[in-house]
Amino acid sequence: MPRRRPREPRRAELPASGLLDWTSSTHWSHTPRPCRYCGRETNLRDSARKPAHKTCAEEALRQQAADAAEAYEAARLA
């Protein structure tokens, strides 16, 4: 029986539009409200149904990841 090569783990592919996939209608509201990050009006809602622009939410996630990496590195060196 021939040996099979182990499969490489699949990498999660980013949507073409960026980090988050907000194509679901659950991310839309007919009522504009101020974005929780920048304060400008938006009809978009995040997964917690709070008003947020997609780009603002992606930037917040990027910053959270950077802060977590920095905290991890500081704890590792301490």
DSSP collapsed to 3 states, 11-70? CCCCCCCCCCCCCCHHHEEEEEEECCCCCCEEEEECCCCCECCHHHHHHHHHHHHHHHHH
Overall pTM > 0.75:
no
pLDDT in tens, 9-45: 665 565 556 678 888 899 999 999 999 999 999 999 9
- pLDDT computed for residue 77 by the predictor: 82
Instruction: Give the domain ranges of the chain.
Output: 25-77
Amino acid letter for position 70: E
- pLDDT computed for residue 20 by the predictor: 85
What token pair was written down for 57?
């939410």
Mean pLDDT, the chain, integer: 86
| Contact between residue 46 and residue 57 where contact means Cβ atoms under 8 Å apart | yes
CA 55/CA 58 separation, integer angstroms: 5
Amino acid letter for position 46: D
